[in-house]
Amino acid sequence: MDIQRIVDAYIIGLGDNADNTSFRQALVGHIAKGDTSLLELVQALGEYLASEEASRRNKGLHVLADVLTDLPQEAIPAQATAKLVQFFCSRLSDSTCVSHILTSIDALQRLPSFTNKCSTDVLRALFKEVHVQSFQHSTRSAAYGLLDQIIRNHPQAVQTMGNDMVLGFAQMLDGEKDPRSLMIAFQIIPKLAELVDIKNNVEDIFEVIFCYFPITFKNREGDPSTISPESLKKALRAAITCSPYFGEMAVKPLVEKTTAASSSVKIDAYETLVAAADAYDAKVFIPEMETLVEQIREDVEMAADDKVVDAALEALEAVYRAVSPATDSNESSDMSETATLLDYVLKDSIFQLTADEIKNPDQIGKLLLVTARSSAYNCNVISDAVLPIVLERLGATEVLTLRRELMDVLNYVLSASCDANRKAECLEADKDNLLNVYRLDAAVPLDKEYSFLHITRLKGITLLILLPEFLNHDELSLALQTISQAAIERNEDENVNKEATHLLVQLAQSTPEQIKATALPLFLDALCEDMVAAHKVSRLLNALGAIGIAASNVLLTILDGIGKIVVADKLNSSHCLLAVTTIRKMVETAVAKDNAADTSLELLNNMVNPLLEWVCKTDVTTYANWQQIVVELAKAAVAVFSKVEQKEQEQRLVALFDRYSAVALSPSQTSTDGQYQTLPIFSAMLCACWPQTNIPVEDKSAFVGDLAAVALSTQNDIQRDVCFEILASIINKCTSVERSKLTKSVFDRAEKDCGLAGILLRHWLARALIACNDQAGYECVRWLLAQITQRSYSEQAADGFNIILGNHDWAVTPETHGVFRLLFKQRFYATVVPEITSSFKDANDDSIKTDLLVALTHSVQHMPKNVLMSGISEVIPLLLSAIRLTVDKLKATSIRTITMVIFETPETVKDEIVTSIIPQLTSSLSLTKANTVHVRRAALDTLSLIPEKYPFSTVQAARKNVLDALSKARDDHKRLVRNDAVKAYNKWFGIEDKLL
C-alpha cells in the first residue's frame, strides 16, 4: 500500500475543499487492520509537519487529527501515546495549528494509556503556549472541552498542579464572551473548586467569574443547539456559589444588584443569594443584612412584579436560615446576635402594627412569615414579639377593617408554626386568646356583609387545626364543623363557600382521618335533605369531588358515601345525574395513580359493582334522564375495568355475558324498549378489555356476525350503537388473520343492506380497521364516499365520518387498549382527503358538495397539526367552500383550521387572504342561523390574528370593510362575541400606525 500517495491526495483535497471521506476511511482502515502503522503515517506526513509554511503544517496536522479521532483505541499503541502527547505539546506554540492539535489531544486523552503525567504536560503547555482568547470560537470551545475532559478523567493530575491550575484556568477564561464557551467554563469551576484548594488564588478566579454577573443574552430562535439564557444563568450561579471562599467578595455586590431597575437582574440576584446561603459562611451575610432586608421590604411592598416578590421572600428566608443559630446551640452570643438581626424585620413590622392605620398588612405578614419559617429559633422570637401586640389590639378594637388586617398578619405568623419542628413555644400560653379571636363555635353569617372578615377567620381556624397538638379532640371537631358548614350553606358571597371548600381540601391532605370523621358526614347528610336546591347539590358534589381528587386518603370514603346515597334512591333525577358524574370524575382520578391495578380492583368490588346492580334493578321510568345516568356509570366502569388484570377481566365477563348478552342479541321491535337502556354498560366493559382477554363465547366469528345482524335489524338506537361499538372493538383488537375472518363475517351479513344501519356499520368498521392500517377500512370509506355522491343517505354517510377518527367514550380508544398503528392518521389523510377533493371537483350538485365538505371537515379536524400542514394547499379551497356551505360547529371547525394555517404558515394563503378569506370571515359575523356563537367567535379569532401575520400592504384593501363588520359585531347580543369583536377591532384599527 502506498500510504504516501493517499496522504498527498488527502492534503490536495484539503486545499481544494473536496470531500476527503474516502481517503480518511482508507487511512483509518489500513492502520486498524495492521496493514500500516501510526508511525508510518507520521513519517508520511513528515514533510508537511516540518514545513516552514504554516498552511502545509496545518494540513498535515489536520490529517493526523482526523485519523486519530476515527481510529479505534486498540489501533493506537500504548507506547505511542506519551510520544504523541509530547509532540503535540511542543506544537501548541504554533498558533496556526492549535485547533487540530487540540482535536488530536482530545482523541488521545480518551485512551487508557493517557496517564496523569500526560494530563499535566498538556495542561501546562496549554496554559503556557496558547492564548485562548485570541482564537475563534471553535478553537476556544475545543480548549474548554479538552480541559473539562481532563478534569473529569484525570482528577489527580489537576490536584497535582494546584495553584498553577487555578491561575491557568483564570487566565484562559479572562475575556471570554461566547455563551457556548462560557457554559462549559462555568461548569468547570465547581469541579475545579472541589479538586483544588483555591484559597490562595480566590480573588483571581472570583474576579474572572463574577464579572459576568448578571449575564444576559438572546439565543437564536429556532436553533435547538443554542444555550438557553436560563441554563447559562444557572451555570454561572453554581460557579459563584461553589466555594465558601467566594463569600466575602460575593455577598456585597449581590446585595447591590438587588437594587437594579431590571426585574430580571433583581430575580437573578435574589436567586443567587438563596444558593449562596447554603454555600457561604453565615458570617459573611451579617454586615449586609440591614441593607438586604430594607431592599426586600421595598420590593415586597411595591409588589410591582410577583416573580420579584417571590424571589425576594425566598432570599430573605434563606439568609435568615443561614444566620440563625442551631436548635441545640447554647451560645448566648450567637442568639443575641441573631435577635439583633431579626430586629431589621421586627422593628418596622411592630411600628406598622401599632399604628392607627396599618399600611401594607399583607406585605408585613409575608415578611414575618418567611422570617419565622426560616428556623425554630426565629419562629419563637417573631411569635413572642408579634402575637401579644396583635392579640391585644384585636381585643381592643371593633373596627372590622382593622380586625381583618390584624387577623391577616396573625394568620401569617401562625402558619410558620404549623411545622412540628418549628412550633412557637408561646402559642400554648396564648391559646385562650387565640380561641377567643377565631371563635370556633360561631357559624359564618350567610349575608354578604363583612364576608372578607369571615374568610380571614376561616383561614385562621384552619391554621389552628394544623398547629401540631394545639386543639383537643372536641375543639378540633368544632373547628371542622364550622369550616364544613361554611362550605355547605349557601352564602350570598360565593367566595366564602369557595374558600371554605379550598380549606377543606387543604385539611384533607394533612388530616384525612378528622375529615372523614367530622366533615364528610355533614356533607353527605346535607345531600339527603328534603327539598334541597339543585345549586346546593351541585356545590356539595363539587366540594366533595375537589376534596376526593386532592386527597386520595379520603377519596374511597367519599365515593362509598355518594354511592350509597345513589343506590338508596335518595336523590331526584337531576341530582342523581350530578352525583354519578362526580363519582365518575373521582374514579377516573383514582385509577390514574401509580397503583392503578390494586385501586381499580377495590373500586370495582366496592363501588362499581353495587352501582351496576342498582342500575339493573331500577325502573327506568324513575329517572327522567336515566340514559345519561347509565352513560356516566358506564364511563366510570370503563375507567376501572380497563385497569384490572386480564384474568380478573375474564372472570367478570362471564357474569356480564350471563346478564346482558341475551338482551344484546335479541333485536328490538320498538325504539323505546326499556330493557335495552342499560346495554351501554355491557358495551363499555367489553370494550375496556385488554386485547389478550378472552371473551366467553364459543365462536367469536359467529358472535360478531350476530352483533352485525342485530344492529342491522333492530329498531332501538341504543341496541344498534352498542352492537356496533362491541364488534368494532373486537375486530380492532384481534390478530390480522382473525381480523380478516371477522370482517368477512360482518360483510356477509351487511352485503345487501344500504340503509342507515348499513351506513353506520361501515363507519364503525372503518374506525376499527383504519386504526390498525387494514386495507378493508379504506374499502369502507370508498363505499361511503360512493353513497354520498349517489345521494343515498348522503347526509348520514358524510356526518358519520366523525365516527371514523373522532373521540368516543370507550369504543376503540387508547384508554381502552385499542390497537393504533404508527402513522395511521397520516395514511388516512394521504389516502382519503385526495379522494374527497377529487369527488368535490367532479360534483355538480351543491348538496353533494356540501356533504363532501362535511366529510372533509370531520376528517381534517382530527388530524395532527404536522400532518394537516403537509398538504394544506390542496385543502384550503375546500375549507373556504365549507365556510360558505356548512353551518354551526362544522363551519366553526373549518374556520379554526384556516386560523391554524394562518398562524403556522401565513404565506400559504397570502394570495387568498383579501380576496377569499376575509370576505368569508366578515360574512360569518352576521346574525344568521348558520352563524352560531361558535362560528362568530371563530371568525373573530381569525380576524384578530391576520394583522399580526400580514403586513399592512397585504391587507389594506380589506381594512375598511373589516372595520365596518367589526363595528357591527361590537353590538352583538352575546357578551363573549362583543369582547372578541373589541379586541379584533383594536388590532385592525391600529394596524396602519404599527406597520407603516
> Per the structure block, which three cell numbers stand in for 967?
363595528
Give residue 762's pLDDT.
93
80 burial via Cβ count (<10 Å: 0-12, 13-18, 19+): middle
Q: Tell which residue, 46, 110, 115, has the closest CA to residue 82.
A: 115
> Per the structure block, which three cell numbers stand in for 606?
366496592
790: which DSSP letter?
A: T
Give residue 500's pLDDT.
93
Give residue 695's pLDDT.
93
Hunting for cell 362526580 — which residue is that?
582
Rounded CA gap, 545 and 559, in Å? 9
Q: Tell which residue, 857, 863, 806, 867, has the closest CA to residue 836.
A: 857
Rounded CA gap, 207 and 419, in Å? 41
**What is the distance of C-alpha 639 from the center of its chain?**
23
Query: Which residues does 759 contact at the CB level (< 8 Å), separation at least 6?
Result: 784, 787, 793, 796, 797, 800
Strands (E), 505-586: none
Alpha helices in 162-210 (DSSP H): 163-173, 179-195, 202-210
Give residue 673's pLDDT.
66
Task: For residue 935, report the phi and psi dihedrals to the nearest 5 degrees.
Answer: -70, -45
**No. of helices (H) and no. of strands (E), the chain:** 53, 0
**What is the distance of C-alpha 962 from the center of its chain?**
37
Q: Tell which residue, 551, 675, 559, 697, has the closest CA to residue 616.
A: 675
Rounded CA gap, 324 and 341, in Å? 9
Rounded CA gap, 428 and 406, in Å? 20
> Per the structure block, which three cell numbers stand in for 18?
473536496
Contact 656, 603 (CB under 8 A): no
pLDDT for 329-344, tens place per residue?
445 445 566 668 899 9
pLDDT for 138-175, tens place per residue?
899 999 999 999 999 999 999 999 899 999 999 999 98
> Per the structure block, which three cell numbers stand in for 598?
390494586
Alpha helices in 843-887 (DSSP H): 846-860, 865-870, 872-885
Rounded CA gap, 758 and 787, in Å? 11
Rounded CA gap, 459 and 404, in Å? 11
How many other CB atoms are there within 10 angstroms of residue 243's CB atom?
A: 22
Query: SS3 for 692?
Result: coil
Query: SS3 for 661?
Result: helix
Amino acid occupying residue 863:
M
Contact 501, 538 (CB under 8 A): no
189 burial via Cβ count (<10 Å: 0-12, 13-18, 19+): buried
640 burial via Cβ count (<10 Å: 0-12, 13-18, 19+): buried
Per-residue CA distances from 201 to 163, 175, 208, 235, 306 (Å):
7, 18, 11, 21, 40
Contact 490, 539 (CB under 8 A): yes
**What is the distance of C-alpha 160 from the center of its chain?**
47
Give residue 996's pLDDT.
41
Give residue 5's pLDDT.
81
Rounded CA gap, 511 and 520, in Å? 13
Alpha helices in 595-625 (DSSP H): 596-603, 609-617
Contact 593, 553 (CB under 8 A): no
**What is the distance of C-alpha 94 from the center of its chain?**
52
Q: Tell which residue, 603, 492, 508, has the closest CA to residue 556.
A: 603
Contact 437, 430 (CB under 8 A): no
> Per the structure block, which three cell numbers stand in for 562?
355518594
Per-residue CA distances from 915 to 880, 919, 922, 930, 958 (Å):
11, 7, 12, 22, 9
Give residue 234's pLDDT.
92
Amino acid occupying residue 356:
D
Rounded CA gap, 260 and 275, in Å? 19
Rounded CA gap, 331 and 286, in Å? 17
For the chain, which ranges sit under pLDDT 70? 1, 15-18, 220-226, 326-339, 420, 446-449, 530-532, 594-595, 670-674, 752-754, 791, 992-996
Contact 783, 750 (CB under 8 A): no
Amino acid occupying residue 485:
Q
How many other CB atoms are there within 10 angstroms of residue 341's CB atom?
A: 22
Contact 891, 850 (CB under 8 A): no
Hunting for cell 335518595 — which residue is that?
570
How many other CB atoms are there within 10 angstroms of residue 617's CB atom?
A: 8
Q: Tell which residue, 118, 116, 196, has the closest CA to residue 164.
A: 196
CA torsion 837→843→845→849, rounded to 10°? -10
Give residue 223's pLDDT.
55
**What is the distance of C-alpha 827 from the center of its chain?**
29
Contact 192, 173 (CB under 8 A): no
Q: Tell which residue, 403, 348, 404, has the closest CA to residue 371.
A: 348
Task: For residue 41, report the phi and psi dihedrals to the nearest 5 degrees.
Answer: -65, -45
Contact 466, 510 (CB under 8 A): yes
